[in-house]
Amino acid sequence: MAKVKTTFFCQSCGAQYAKWQGQCNACKAWNTIAEEVLQKPEKSEWKTPVNQTKRAAKPLKIKDIDVFEEARYDSLDAEFNRVLGGGIVPGSLTLLGGEPGIGKSTLLLQIALKLPYKTLYVSGEESQKQIKMRAERIHLDANNCYILTETKTQRIFKQIEALEPDIVIVDSIQTLHSDYIESSSGSISQIKECTTELIKFAKETATPVILIGHITKDGNIAGPKILEHMVDTVLQFEGDRNHVFRILRAHKNRFGSTNELGIYEMQGSGLREVSNPSEVLISKKDEELSGHVIAATLEGARPLMIEVQALVSTAVYGTPQRSTTGFNAKRLNMLLAVLEKRAGFRLGAKDVFLNITGGITVDDPAIDLAVVAAILSSNEDAPLSHSFCFAAEVGLSGEVRPVQRVEQRILEAEKLGFSTIFVSKYNKISLKNSAIKVELVSKIEDLVDLII
């Protein structure tokens, strides 16, 4: 009998060792090295039929390479297309990660049903009946979508060869299993092997493959980091499970920008594309409430109006609490210190709570001025007008700093019917005769005078 070959892999970074050790030399994590059985593959699994080979690699002078954009597959989902940079690229491997239950399978099934191309949806997680039931909830008729429930890559490739689909979707990479590796599904060596086989298939036949990946409890895609290096695009599907909004972001994209953002709303009948997010993110109220302020932010190329809510109250315990949802807590502490030092507000003995509504997280520094305004408004219990919005960064000395693409923000605010937008005095604005009043602020002291 042949000797069983085993190797040791770090489960967090994928580094390979000949024998067990306590700490991984590569990523310094403890107790992550585990033994996995493997057999060297004699031959790689995907063998391209001769008639399907679209290109055989040979060196070309760079100036001889065709420069025209390869035609992309239109997914008929504007948000998905935008995040990918304009559609699905032939021969690309896309990895979609996200927490369990966030809606990854729903999103891709919905896209598979809509696609006007022959699509194969391979599921190792659900039965064909379950998928059919889900498809019925989504209410889409599809003639081009094939469902296969299989986890062995060898058998999947056999079906692919027979069906010749234009696009392949795999739910999920952690359930796949290749015969050449004996360790169980989801282990490092299995994930590596299955992905390698899929990459070979995708590149040789120019068929795009979309993979679903599970994430670990600290938010990384389960399996080795090399998985993220191997694929062309890594998308993250995120959101608060108790809220209806879901956000699709690109963490890595070889064919487009990573700044783009897709927003969906989870409904009883699948995910709805949110094409005008500002309108849904701002809660409609008749009364003006203190501490509620609108910020004009940008996510990627898209302006987004976001509601910031602050609550400032006297601390009950000795140590005041600072808590944030959707905003960096360190940034809040910095803004509070600036307010204390530069504008003379005694916030040291106050609890401060800050919340970005809609369950989304904002990194855009242009939200600073809105945060400051919300804190001031709550502290003074003075409601600000609904028709004000803010777009500027705040520096350590209390200076109000310019932000990028301010004109786009002003136009969005104008479109949504705001009467006044507060921006930095140092922003160069060449907009003429706009209906919105642009209030220029240079220090936060000015803001205090203007709004209180």
- Give the residue, chosen from 14, 239, 270, 303, that forms a contact with ligand TYD under the rule CB under 6 A: 270
Q: Which helix (H) or strand (E) holds 406?
A: helix 406-415
Kindly indicate which of the ranges 266-274, 309-317, 374-382, 420-428 contains the residues binding ligand TYD, using the contact rule CB under 6 A. Answer: 266-274
Residue listed under structure tokens 């990194």: 363
Q: Which of 269, 272, 261, 238 has its CA nearest to residue 77?
A: 272
Print the binding letters for residues 348-367 with ligand TYD: x by CB under 6 A, - otherwise.
--------------------
Contacts of 111 (CB under 8 A, 6+ apart): 75, 76, 77, 80, 169
270 with 264: CB under 8 angstroms?
no
Long-range contacts of 254-258 (CB under 8 A, 24+ apart): 254/92, 255/84, 255/85, 255/86, 255/89, 255/92, 256/83, 256/84, 256/85, 256/86, 257/85, 257/300, 257/301
Residue listed under structure tokens 């990627």: 300
Residue 266 makes contact with ligand TYD by CB under 6 A:
yes
Kindly indicate which of the ranges 3-11, 30-38, 97-105, 361-369 contains the residues binding ligand TYD, using the contact rule CB under 6 A. Answer: 97-105
Length of the chain, in residues: 452
**341's torsion region: left (phi>0), alpha (psi -120 to 50) or beta?**
alpha
Between residues 105 and 424, which has the closer beta carbon with respect to Mg ion?
A: 105
* Amino acid letter, residue 141: D
Residue 103 makes contact with ligand TYD by CB under 6 A:
yes
Residue 174 makes contact with Mg ion by CB under 5 A:
no
Q: Considering CB distances under 5 to 8 angstroms, the limit depending on partner class, which of ligand TYD, Mg ion, none binds residue 443?
A: none
Residue 81 makes contact with Mg ion by CB under 5 A:
no
Residue 101 makes contact with ligand TYD by CB under 6 A:
yes
Residue 105 makes contact with Mg ion by CB under 5 A:
yes
Between residues 172 and 324, which has the closer beta carbon with respect to ligand TYD?
A: 172
Q: Cβ 99 to ligand TYD, closest distance in Å?
A: 7
- Give the residue, chosen from 7, 37, 117, 137, that forms a contact with ligand TYD under the rule CB under 6 A: 137
Residue 151 makes contact with Mg ion by CB under 5 A:
no
Number of residues that bind Mg ion (CB under 5 A): 1
Binding site for ligand TYD (CB under 6 A): 98, 100-106, 134, 137-138, 266, 268-270
Binding site for Mg ion (CB under 5 A): 105
